[in-house]
Every structure is written in structure tokens, then in C-alpha cells.
Amino acid sequence: WLLFFCARKKKVTRREAKTCPEGEKARAAGPKKHSQLKKPRPNGRKKYSCIASPRVKSLSMDNPSLLHPSPWLLLLLLPSWLGCPAHSPQNGPPAVYFSNQASFSPLPPQYIEKPMDMLQRISGSHGDKHFHMSAWVKANNEEMVMEFWGDMGNSLGTFHYNHQGLHFSSSAFPQHFRPEYVLADFQLCFYSPMALRNALGKLTLYTQQPTSGVEIRRLYEGETCLVEIEKTPHRVHYKNHLRGYAYSIEGDFP
């Protein structure tokens, strides 16, 4: 929107009058008599000209930061960062891409390796950004439910996946957020390696059985390592080499 203002007709200053021909004539003629003075306009109004201001103020708004999301929240935003409408249920989550060519269709809930019902503390990074959050995760052969909240105890969203489909509800995530990527990363960490191999298609899942309490999982496309996961009884570290993000999940894992 443009703002308008009225500007009076410019008057000649004394300094300008000394340098212009009209000013010289006016000084030579001397001061005007009363009868020579310009009479006011009949309606008593002064003459104005109205011009549009060339300056237009722009609105600026600081982007409110969401309690820096953490791994799962980071994942929600990575395939892409307020409020968004709830995602409606869908029959079978869409495929996700671990690389630009290789896709993966998430598995049904029954392929979880060890059911869990626990609190998880999550911290992650993407470039120079760091994220922190908490989640209560209930995952078994029937369903997978996640409740996310921030450091101040504010709810960030609810994630629900079962045989009927995937549902995510939140007022803190952007509209382009894709919850199926959260599901895919979770399954890479906690689902049966054999079931994952059958579903990964062109991708290869390498697993190393626990030695000294550490289990290793690596996802390859050809000879390129896309994802690396380290699991211990109290910590899971996930690193996506291709997308450039990583996160750690702490808790008492089964």
C-alpha cells in the first residue's frame, strides 16, 4: 500500500532569489505595495499539489523458532521448516527416498525387532543447526505412536502408524512436512534387518552383530554408504551421509 502526502508549492528562498533573474528584478522594484499583494483565493483555501510518496514501508517478521527440533523433528523438516493442518490418515505411507534414485516403502508394524514403550531424549544437528526434544514412543506389532514435546513441555505433535495408515497431527510443523520420513528412519534403526532387506530393493543393508555391546547398521547404494547407525543399550546414533544430518536418541532400549 502506498502512503500519500500533500506538498506545498515550493517557494523561492532569499538565497535563491539573489541568484535568479526574477530575484534581481524583484529587489530592483523594491517592496510591493499593499495593493500589489496577491489576493487570497475566493474560497479561502491555499493551493496544494498531491503526490504519491516513493517510499513504501515493508513489513518484516522474525521467524519464530520452534524449540529447535531434534532428530525426529529434524527429519520432519529435512525432506524439506508455522502451524500446519493435521495430516489425514492414508492407506499405506508413500515411498521415501534414501537417495535420488532409490526408494523404500515403509514396512507394517509387525516387523519391529523389539517392541518398546519408553521415553526418548533426542538431539541432532544439520549443518550448523542443533536440535533438542523429547518423545514418548510406543511401538509394537500393532502400532507405532510418538508424542513429541519441547524443552518447556509444550506439545509439538502426535504421530500414529498402524495397519490402517499413517496419521500426523501438529500445530508446530510446516505444511510441507512429510511424516513418512520419520517412519522410514525409525524402521531403519529398530525393525528386523531381514524384513528391511526384502523391502529396500536396490539398496543394501549391512549389519554387524553386537560386539562389546555395539550393533552396526549401514545402508549402501552400490559402494556409497548413505546411512550409518550405531546402537547400544542406552543410545542410538544415526548419521545420514548423503543428506548431511545426524542425531542421537538416548533411553533404556529393550
Over the chain (254 residues), what is each successive 10-residue block's mean pLDDT? 38 49 56 53 48 38 39 44 37 83 93 96 89 93 94 87 90 79 95 96 90 91 96 96 93 93
Confidence (pLDDT) at 221:
95
Confidence (pLDDT) at 21:
56
Confidence (pLDDT) at 63:
38
Do residues 168 and 160 lie in contact, with contact meaning Cβ atoms separated by under 8 Å?
A: yes
Confidence (pLDDT) at 138:
97
Q: Which residues on adjacent β-strands are paired with residue 215?
A: 231
CA distance 75 to 90: 20
Confidence (pLDDT) at 238:
97
In the chain, where does DSSP find H-type helix?
14-19, 21-29, 71-77, 180-190, 193-199
Sign of CA dihedral 199, 204, 208, 210: negative
Tell the burial category of 103 from Cβ atoms under 10 Å away from its Cβ (0-12, 13-18, 19+). middle
- The reply to whether the predicted model has a pTM over 0.75 is no
Nearest to 146 by CA among 104, 186, 98, 95: 186
Confidence (pLDDT) at 108:
95
Helices and strands of the chain, counted as H and E runs: 5, 15
Sign of CA dihedral 231, 244, 72, 200: negative
Do residues 80 and 174 lie in contact, with contact meaning Cβ atoms separated by under 8 Å?
A: yes
Confidence (pLDDT) at 210:
77
DSSP structural state of residue 174: -
Count CB neighbours of 48 within 10 A.
10
The values of phi and psi at residue 187, to 5°, are -65, -35
